[in-house]
Amino acid sequence: MENNFDVIIIGGGPAGLTAGLYTSRDRLKSLAIDKGLFGGLIASTELVENFPGFPEGISGMELAQKMHEQALKYGLNTINASVIGLKNITETYKTVITEENEYQSKVIIIASGSERAKLNIPGEEQFTGKGVSYCATCDGAFFRDQTVAVVGGGNAAISEAIHLTHYASNVIVIHRRNELRATRVLQEKAFNNPKIRFLWDTVVESIEGHDFVKSVRVSNVRTGEKSTLEISGIFIATGLKPSTDFIKGSLPLDEAGHIITNDRMETEIPGIYAAGDVRRNSGMQAITAAGEGATAAIYAHRFLSL
């Protein structure tokens, strides 16, 4: 593959793939780079019910595949690689550095998305892959007829809990507040599922086991009461953090690490755009990410036409 492009897109989720679809249809030589599966976090969602055009819903994996196929159809180049930095960002040709190569382009669209936040508690790293998971769609089948816990109270956590009921005998949702932040539709599904029970006002302090997870130590944030839950697995879905480690020091970020842009998805560096979850004030939804990817691509094309 050549190393010079009109546009390089960092990230292959809905924002990146939509940007690549638009730039490729405009006959701009475009490359999308993603360190993992193209499609982003949406690919690990069992059922997407709020993406327009699919009244019965669509699996996240199928939606991701369709987006990827459509972008490829119009000529988007893609590679799997980890981006570790940028250089020459104020020059006409900017450089994207991966672990194995360097690529140049006149425009960079950063759509690197977000990743699951960690609890950073004892046992979490030790038992990752041994009962600690961040993806129920990926790992739920390993816990058939067992008791598992889900940590969190947002859409991701409740979706994970509902999905896990297809396999687990019991699902305990552990939430630090006394009410959920998930949408009403998801809440209704969870509350009406006999396999799901809720542990309110509670945080996980440590994850324990031997070769695999056996239990978690929890604490009630109101009373201070501590207890142990016997479980076989724990799924952590407490939020997302932007994937921007590779650009720290290169572009202005807000206090949470999101890229600061205007409504054209432009950063303060001409020719560098950001779209999707990685951007400050993004809607954090697949459909808003796709819209931001399209917006970034439209203004990138205008920038290159000047």
pLDDT single digits (tens) 277-286: 999 999 889 9
112, 113, 147, 282 from 22: Cα distances, Å: 17, 18, 45, 20
pLDDT reading at 150 higher than 90: yes
- Which percentage of the chain shows pLDDT scores above 90? 87
Residues shown for the chain: 306
Residue 47 pLDDT = 83
Select which of 138, 245, 254, 277 is catalytic: 138
Q: What mean pLDDT comes out for the span 102-111?
A: 98
pLDDT reading at 74 higher than 90: yes
End-to-end CA distance of the chain: 28
Q: Round the average pLDDT of the chain to a whole number and report it.
A: 95
Q: Which residue has the higher pLDDT, 306 or 81?
A: 81
Q: What mean pLDDT comes out for the span 97-122?
A: 95
Q: What mean pLDDT comes out for the span 159-183?
A: 96
Q: Which residues contact residue 62 at a Cβ distance below 8 angstroms, ignoring those fewer than 6 apart?
A: none
Dihedral Cα 40, 17, 60, 240, nearest 10 deg: 30
pLDDT reading at 9 higher than 90: yes
Question: Please, what CATH class does the domain formed by 4-116+240-305 belong to?
Answer: alpha beta
Residue 182 pLDDT = 94
pLDDT reading at 100 higher than 80: yes
pLDDT reading at 233 higher than 70: yes
Select which of 6, 139, 201, 211 is catalytic: 139
Select which of 6, 34, 135, 277 is catalytic: 135
pLDDT reading at 69 higher than 80: yes
SS3 223: coil
Residue whose tokens read 């960079």: 108
Residue 44 pLDDT = 79
Q: What mean pLDDT comes out for the span 56-60?
A: 91
User: Contact at 8 Å (CB) between 108 and 189?
Assistant: no
Q: For residue 138, indicate whether it is catalytic.
A: yes
Give φ, ψ of 263 to 5 degrees. Answer: -75, -5
Q: Which residues contact residue 57 at a Cβ distance below 8 angstroms, ignoring those fewer than 6 apart?
A: 47, 48, 49
pLDDT reading at 1 higher than 70: no
SS3 content of the chain, % helix, strand, coil (to 5): 25, 30, 40
Q: What mean pLDDT comes out for the span 88-116?
A: 95
DSSP-assigned beta bridge partners for residue 234: 132, 149
* Homologous superfamily assigned to 132-236: FAD/NAD(P)-binding domain (3.50.50.60)
Residue 49 pLDDT = 86
Residue whose tokens read 């724990």: 234
DSSP 8-state code for residue 117: P
Q: Nearest-5° angle of CA 144, CA 185, CA 116?
A: 60
Q: How confident is the model at residue 30 (pLDDT cuts 50, 70, 90)?
A: very high
Q: For residue 139, indicate whether it is catalytic.
A: yes
pLDDT reading at 21 higher than 80: yes
Distance CA 212, CA 265 (A): 44
Distance CA 219, CA 178 (A): 14
Cβ-based burial of 173 (10 A; exposed 0-12, middle 13-18, buried ≥19): buried
Going by their DSSP bridges, the two strands 202-209 and 213-220 should be labelled as antiparallel
Q: What mean pLDDT comes out for the span 79-107?
A: 96
Q: Quick check: do 4-116+240-305 and 132-236 share a fold?
A: yes
Distance CA 93, CA 4 (A): 9
Q: Which residue has the higher pLDDT, 21 or 135?
A: 21
> Domain spans of the chain?
4-116+240-305, 132-236
User: Which run of H or E residues covers position 189?
Assistant: helix 184-191
Distance CA 235, CA 260 (A): 31
